[in-house]
Amino acid sequence: MKSTSVRVNKEREEFLIKEFGTAGGGLAQCAVIVENAAKAGFPVNDITESLQILSQIRAYSLREIKGKLSKLEWMYLADALNGTIITPEFRANRGGLIASIEDGNDFDDLGEKWSVCVNELIDKVNTLTGAQVDTVYTRVAQYWNSKDRDLDKWAEW
């Protein structure tokens, strides 16, 4: 493997170390991300703009779903999706989210645990757009990835 030197400012170096463990490892990972985007036919120069657009879509969707689900329904979703890996094919798929809700009830009796009517929750999920489904997955993942998890406070939203 060929070695290449790259100059980065101190701020960027600190970011790479924080996110990836080492600056070199971070740069290598960034190169892999860009390479994978190019292989998938995604214009490399559009990556930043696309991330900004996705961020805006999620922000709007977050506002749209606020208040649509009860505190106990959010707790149910957090429990049902705990440890679930959501692939890109399912990010905006209502059916995939509904399957997780049904599995949580069928295998772990989460409806009784959280005092949630599973059919009502499914009816609510059926009204969500694909972007809103993605936002549900994102919000739950952010909860599980948080260092200071407080389910009660998080679900109160």
What value does the mean pLDDT take over residues 73-87?
A: 97
Instruction: Answer yes or no: is pLDDT of 16 > 90.
Output: yes
State the pLDDT at residue 48.
Answer: 87
Angle between helical axes of 94-108 and 118-125 (0-180°, round to 10): 170
What SS3 state is found at 86? coil
- CB atoms closer than 10 angstroms to residue 111: 21
Closest residue by Cα to residue 27 from 12, 42, 37: 12
What is the pLDDT at residue 6? 87
83, amino acid identity: G
Domain segments of the chain: what residues? 10-42, 67-155
pLDDT band at 109, cuts 50/70/90? very high
| Total Cβ atoms within 10 A of residue 105 | 21
Distances (CA, A) of 77 to 29, 41, 69, 140, 157: 32, 34, 10, 7, 13
Confidence of residue 44 (pLDDT cuts 50, 70, 90): confident
